[in-house]
Amino acid sequence: MNNIYLQAYLCPHCKTIASFFGTGVGNSIALTCNSCRKGVFFQLRHDVNITNLMEVNNIPANLVVESYPRVVFTADSTIPKDIGDDFEEANMCFTIGAKKATVTMCRRVLQTTCVSKGADPQKDLVQQIDELESMRVIKPSMKEMAHTIRKIGNWGAHPQSDPLKDVTLDDAGDILKFTSEFLDEVFIQPARLDVLKRKKGLT
Confidence of residue 186 (pLDDT cuts 50, 70, 90): very high
Domain boundary among 44, 68, 92: 68
Domain shared by 131 and 195, yes or no: yes
Q: Could you tell me if residue 184 is inside a domain?
A: yes
In angstroms, the Cα distances linking 40 to 29, 70, 75, 130, 142 are: 8, 9, 21, 41, 33
In angstroms, the Cα distances linking 166 to 58, 118, 150, 152, 162 are: 19, 34, 16, 10, 8
Confidence of residue 1 (pLDDT cuts 50, 70, 90): low
Q: Could you tell me if residue 74 is inside a domain?
A: no
Q: Could you tell me if residue 73 is inside a domain?
A: no
CA 22, chain centre distance (Å): 23
CA–CA separation, 36 and 90 (whole Å): 22
Domain boundary among 27, 45, 68: 68
How high is the pLDDT of residue 179?
96
**Sign of CA pseudo-dihedral 11, 7, 65, 175:** positive
Confidence of residue 187 (pLDDT cuts 50, 70, 90): very high
pLDDT higher than 60, residue 159: no
Q: Could you tell me if residue 32 is inside a domain?
A: yes
How high is the pLDDT of residue 191?
95
**Sign of CA pseudo-dihedral 189, 180, 35, 14:** positive
How high is the pLDDT of residue 137?
97
pLDDT higher than 70, residue 155: no
Q: How many structural domains comprise the chain?
A: 2
Domain shared by 85 and 48, yes or no: no
Q: Could you tell me if residue 75 is inside a domain?
A: no
Domain shared by 154 and 60, yes or no: no
Per DSSP, 11 falls in state -
Confidence of residue 161 (pLDDT cuts 50, 70, 90): low
Task: Residue 151: give the domain boundaries.
Answer: 81-199
Closest residue by Cα to residue 59 from 41, 44, 39, 46? 44
pLDDT digits (tens, 9 = 90+) for 43-102: 998 888 877 765 556 787 778 888 999 888 889 999 999 999 999 999 988 887 788 899
Domain shared by 61 and 91, yes or no: no
pLDDT higher than 60, residue 25: yes
Confidence of residue 163 (pLDDT cuts 50, 70, 90): low
In angstroms, the Cα distances linking 159 to 73, 152, 155, 164, 169 are: 28, 12, 6, 8, 18
Q: Could you tell me if residue 137 is inside a domain?
A: yes
